[in-house]
Amino acid sequence: MISITKDTLRQLNVAVGKLDVDTGEVFVGFVGRLHVSDGLYHGDLRWAEAGEDPPKDTVSVKSLLAPSKPKPPSKSKPKPPSDAGGDIGDKPDGDPHD
Amino acid sequence: MAIHTIKLGIEGSGVSLSKDVSYTQAGVNLIDGEAVANGQTDYEINFDLDISACVSFYLVSDQDVTFETNSGASADDTIALLADKPYVWYTNAYDVCLITTDITAGVFITNASGETATIYCVALYDVTPA
């Protein structure tokens, strides 16, 4: 059982009849229904054997289902306050504790 | 004038009751067995309804479908219809109508049931509301 948005459902409907490069089978479609509680379509994906004459059009159903990934958090060090002066990594001139 | 009768009943546990709820009005809007193929997203059907003038509303599909009003992308009202389980509302019903906004731009059906769905909607309304 998967849960998808209507936009994803629309994309999956376009993919029906195409050869799924991830499974090597023909994508038959999504079967399910809307759940008002979360506004998502819950159901299952269906494939069929490609047979001897598989469709030439291909699709990656897996990629259609992949949620848009959020940008990873920046690994750069936080910038010092603008009034700190100097470049990042520079040691301050003279350490008061020295 | 049209007379629409909604039949409400119960059978079970030794109880057998059937009650008719009838209304008579001149205005009728129908979706008369519209077939919506599996895999349709936001299939548009021409249908309009002044909900404030509506006195009875009956909506049924033989497959699970989504029924949306006025827009598929940003619907005013959405009903997740279950196969062969009608949505029924009438004047003096105990619940508020799920259709809250006048239907002026059609209805939109999304069918991911795996089968062709046949949709019926029967609305009776007052053509001269106060």
Residue B14 lies in a domain: no
Residue B21 lies in a domain: no
Q: Domain residues for B107? A: 27-125
- Model confidence pLDDT, tens digit, residues B66-85: 999 999 999 999 999 999 99
ipTM above 0.90, yes or no: no
Question: Which of B62, B63, B66 to probe the A interface (max A CBs under 10 A)?
Answer: B66
pLDDT of residue A80: 56
- Model confidence pLDDT, tens digit, residues A28-61: 999 999 999 999 999 999 999 998 999 999 999 9
Residue A11 lies in a domain: yes
Residue A69 lies in a domain: no
Residue A16 lies in a domain: yes
Total domains in chain A come to: 1
Residue type, B44: E
- CA–CA separation, B73 vs B68, rounded Å? 9
Residue A26 lies in a domain: yes
Residue B63 — φ and ψ, nearest 5°? Answer: -140, 160
Q: Where are the beta strands (DSSP E) in A5-57?
A: 19-20, 26-35, 40-48
Q: In chain A, which residues have their Cβ closer than 8 Å to the Cβ of B80? A: 33-36
Min Cα separation B47/chain A (Å): 22
Q: Domain residues for A22? A: 2-61
- CA–CA separation, B117 vs B63, rounded Å? 5
> Is B80 in contact with A34 (Cβ distance < 8 A)?
yes
> Is A33 in contact with B41 (Cβ distance < 8 A)?
no
CATH of the domain at B113: 2.60.120
**Over residues A82-91, mean pLDDT:** 46
Residue B47 lies in a domain: yes
Q: What is the pTM of this model?
A: 0.83
Residue B6 lies in a domain: no
Total domains in chain B come to: 1
